[in-house]
C-alpha cells in the first residue's frame, strides 16, 4: 500500500475509533514534506462513500493535507452520513495529488481522462477530478462541474482551469 493511502486509512480509522487526528511523526519523508492540493476518496463495495479535497494546499505539508482531507471525507461530506466504526473494514481509499491548476482558453485543451477541471464564475467554483467512471467526455465533465458550482449548464461566461493528478489506491 502506498504511504499516502496508508496515511489516509490510518487517519480515518484513528478518528472514527478515538476521535483523534493523528499527529505527524518527528521526521517526515521528503515526499510528505511537499505541499499540494489533495483529494481523498472513500469507496465501500465500489460505491462512493465520501470524497473531500483541496485544489490548492491549505496545510504546511502533504502529510497534514492527507490526514485532514481523509477525516473530512469520512465525516464531513454532505452527501453521506459519517463513516461508522463497523464500516472501516469495507472502506477502500484513494489519494489524488493535484498539479497546480492552469487556465484554459479553449476547450480543445481539455481531456476528461487526462485533466480534472475547475470552473469559476464570480464566487462560485466547482471541481471535478479526471478519469471518473461514467464521465465520457469534456462536455459532460463541464456540465457536471458547472452543476456542482451552481452555474447554469449553458453559461459560457466562466473561467476554466485544468490540472492533472497522481492517483494512489
120-164 confidence digits (pLDDT tens): 999 999 999 999 989 989 999 999 999 999 999 999 999 999 999
pLDDT band at 31 (very low <50, low <70, confident <90, very high): very high
- pLDDT value for 49: 98
- pLDDT value for 32: 96
**Residue 6 belongs to what H/E stretch?**
helix 3-18
Produce one character per residue of 25-53: b if its CB has 16 or more CB atoms within 10 Å, e if not. eeeeeeebeeebbbbbbbbbeeeebbbbb
Domain borders along the chain are: 3-98, 102-168
- pLDDT value for 21: 93
Please state which CATH number belongs to domain 102-168: 3.30.1490.150
| Strand order through the sheet with 124-128 | 102-104, 159-163, 116-121, 124-128
pLDDT digits (tens, 9 = 90+) for 53-106: 999 999 999 999 999 999 999 999 999 999 999 999 999 999 999 999 999 999
pLDDT band at 20 (very low <50, low <70, confident <90, very high): very high
- pLDDT value for 161: 97
62 in Cβ contact with 68 (< 8 Å): no
SS3 of 37-68: the string is EEEEEEEECCEEEEEEECCCCCCCCHHHHHHH
Fold of 3-98: Glycoprotein, Type 4 Pilin (3.30.700)
pLDDT band at 26 (very low <50, low <70, confident <90, very high): very high
Amino acid at each position: 500500500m502506498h504511504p499516502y493511502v496508508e496515511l489516509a486509512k490510518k487517519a480515518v480509522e484513528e478518528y472514527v475509533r478515538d476521535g483523534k487526528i493523528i499527529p505527524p511523526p518527528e521526521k517526515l519523508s521528503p515526499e510528505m514534506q511537499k505541499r499540494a492540493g489533495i483529494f481523498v476518496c472513500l469507496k465501500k463495495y465500489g460505491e462512493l462513500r465520501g470524497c473531500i479535497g483541496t485544489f490548492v494546499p491549505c496545510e504546511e505539508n502533504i502529510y497534514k493535507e492527507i490526514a485532514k482531507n481523509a477525516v473530512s471525507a469520512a465525516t464531513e461530506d454532505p452527501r453521506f452520513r459519517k463513516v461508522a466504526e463497523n464500516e472501516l473494514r469495507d472502506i477502500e481509499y484513494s489519494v489524488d495529488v493535484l498539479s497546480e491548476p492552469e487556465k484554459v482558453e479553449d476547450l480543445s485543451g481539455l481531456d476528461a481522462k487526462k485533466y480534472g477541471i475547475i470552473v469559476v464564475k464570480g464566487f462560485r467554483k466547482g471541481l471535478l477530478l479526471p478519469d471518473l467512471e461514467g464521465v465520457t467526455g469534456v462536455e459532460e465533465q463541464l456540465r457536471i462541474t458547472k452543476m456542482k458550482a451552481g452555474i447554469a449548464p449553458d453559461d459560457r461566461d466562466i473561467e476554466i482551469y485544468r490540472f492533472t493528478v497522481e492517483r494512489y489506491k
